[in-house]
Amino acid sequence: MNWTCHDVIAFLQDHFFVHVHTRGSHYYFKGRVDNAIRLVEVPYHAQQSIKPRTLRHSIIPKSGIPASIWKKWGNAGNKRARKKITYPGAQEI
């Protein structure tokens, strides 16, 4: 799956991350994963795909959510199926 910024934002929001601020074309989301506060920077470039390297080396590790959950969620297809895929370590702030 090619992830757009909208896909990444939807994934983070499904895992209780909240938008805390914006600087230029980058959105910052804060969340709690495995009892640690995480800050994830998401580059916002409308309909362009986020580079796989950015996802692998920046966004996924900073989120603290395993890559396998990201993959399952991305391959799930529709919103209803995606809502069922969650990481148990993600908690509300």
pLDDT at 75: 94
pTM of the model: 0.94
Contacts of 49 (CB under 8 A, 6+ apart): 2, 3, 4
Q: What is the pLDDT of residues 27-65, one digit of tens each?
A: 999 999 999 999 999 999 877 899 999 999 999 999 999
Give residue limits of the domains in the chain.
Answer: 5-86
Residue 35 Rama label (left phi>0; alpha psi -120 to 50; beta): left
**Single-letter residue type at 44:** Y
- The yes-or-no verdict on residue 9 having pLDDT over 80 is yes
Proportion of the chain above pLDDT 70, given as a percent:
99
Contacts of 18 (CB under 8 A, 6+ apart): 29, 30, 31, 93
